[in-house]
Amino acid sequence: MINRRQFVKIATASAGVCASGSFAFGKPKPSVPSYLKGYEDLYARDPRQAALRWFKEAKFGLFIHYGLYSLLEGHYKGKHSRPAEWVLRNGKVPLPEYEKLADRFTAEKFDADFITDMALDAGMKYINITTRHHDSFCLWDTKTTDFKSTNSPAKRDLVAELAEQCQQKGLGLCLYYSHGRDWRHPHGPESLFPAAEVDYQNYVDFMSAQVKELLTNYGPIAAIWLDGIGGAWNTQKQAGGRDVLQTQELYKYIRSLQPQVLVSYKQGYLGTEDFMAPERHFKGKAAKPLEICNTLQGHSWGYDSADEGRHRKPNAVMDMLKKAKAMPANLLLNTGPLPDGSIHPDDIETLRAVGQRLRKDS
């Protein structure tokens, strides 16, 4: 007897064969990502334009911040770090001690099936997960480093599990990736443990290899969502205005790997991104499609025990959606899973209520 995860994997593979058009009568149509169902004609002419139209109409997405920082719950030796996902830097955690958190990373209750069902029930059209945050810990089976979830007690590729479920259910999968900050990499921007002579080309090569894995091993990706814009700006300034991180070349490489994938970099780094994705309280007008990200916790993105009792309620989320619609913008609403990977009960309750209200109002 196969287990549920094996069944999903087999079903996904079968769906991929059916979607390929190999058995269709007449001229085969190009395989369309499941999240772009309904945009087939435009996709056949211009995959990127189909993705942009889908994004403008998506309105609502789920953000997930999960990693080693989740295990510390925003605290280190009695001191509170805000935001919680910055605990390595703000909490001044020694790197060897932080790296040992990987020995406790089980993700035993991270359930991609439940998460995707929760998102769909809330009326969301896509999910964005932190594949690698500023601490450089990876949630996929990368060959570029041993600092990853598959090398922990979890022994799981969380990106793969989420990708399978998103493809099955027609959700777009967006991948958060820390570009302008890497606190652990000796050649990374804003490294807390830099090499004696920093070589940014080393870091650029590292990033390129990781992005290639993410865009070749996990099926169709809706967007690469870059973070760390402050670090990128600082690095460029220190280099006399040169973009030593070769950002435009990275954009070009991303688009060459998947024609429909969209690129964002917060409020816009080069101006050549496909959409803007600023945090929280953006004001003004955007020259490009806009997405506002906010969190269900009081402040942090990763799980913060100091925010217990302060998670946002349905009325607050409905107000966020109303404001986003008026901009107009999508709302990317974040949840920080608990240390074991489960979704906070308060967030589950809120998202369930939001979904009920949206269905009632539609």
Helix (H, G, I), strand (E, B) or coil at 264: strand
Helix (H) or strand (E) holding 166: helix 158-169
Outline where DSSP puts E strands in 171-268. Answer: 172-178, 223-227, 262-265
**Residue 272 DSSP label:** -
- Whether 180 and 226 have beta carbons less than 8 Å apart is answered as yes
Q: Which of 263, 181, 182 is nearest to 215 (CA)?
A: 263
What pLDDT is stored for residue 291 in this prediction?
Answer: 98
| C-alpha span between 160 and 166 (Å, rounded) | 10
Q: How many CA atoms lie within 13 A of 294 on its CB side?
A: 20
| C-alpha span between 214 and 132 (Å, rounded) | 11
Tokens representing 306 are 């100091």
What pLDDT is stored for residue 6 in this prediction?
Answer: 46
264-303 burial, b at 16+ Cβ within 10 Å, e below that, comes to bbbebbeeebbbbbbeeebeeebeebbbbbbbbbeebbbb
Q: Count the helices and strands in the chain (H runs, E runs).
A: 13, 9
Mean pLDDT per 10-residue section of the chain, whose length is 362 residues: 44 40 45 96 98 98 98 95 96 97 98 98 98 98 98 98 98 98 98 96 98 98 98 96 97 98 96 96 86 96 97 98 95 98 98 98 84
Tokens representing 38 are 């309904």
Beta-carbon contacts of 226 under 8 Å, excluding residues fewer than 6 positions away, are 177, 178, 179, 180, 263, 264, 265, 266, 269
Q: Which of 163, 95, 124, 187 is nearest to 335 (CA)?
A: 124
* Cα Rg of the chain (Å, integer): 20
Helix (H) or strand (E) holding 160: helix 158-169
- Whether 35 and 222 have beta carbons less than 8 Å apart is answered as yes
| C-alpha span between 348 and 30 (Å, rounded) | 37
Q: Which of 38, 77, 51 is nearest to 275 (CA)?
A: 51
Handedness of CA 194, 336, 300, 174 (dihedral sign): positive
What pLDDT is stored for residue 338 in this prediction?
Answer: 98
What pLDDT is stored for residue 205 in this prediction?
Answer: 98
How far is Cα of residue 228 from the mean position of the Cα atoms in its chain?
13
The residue type of 225 is W
What pLDDT is stored for residue 28 in this prediction?
Answer: 55
Q: Please, what are the domains in the chain?
A: 50-361 (3.20.20.80)
Outline where DSSP puts E strands in 172-254. Answer: 172-178, 223-227
pTM for this prediction: 0.91
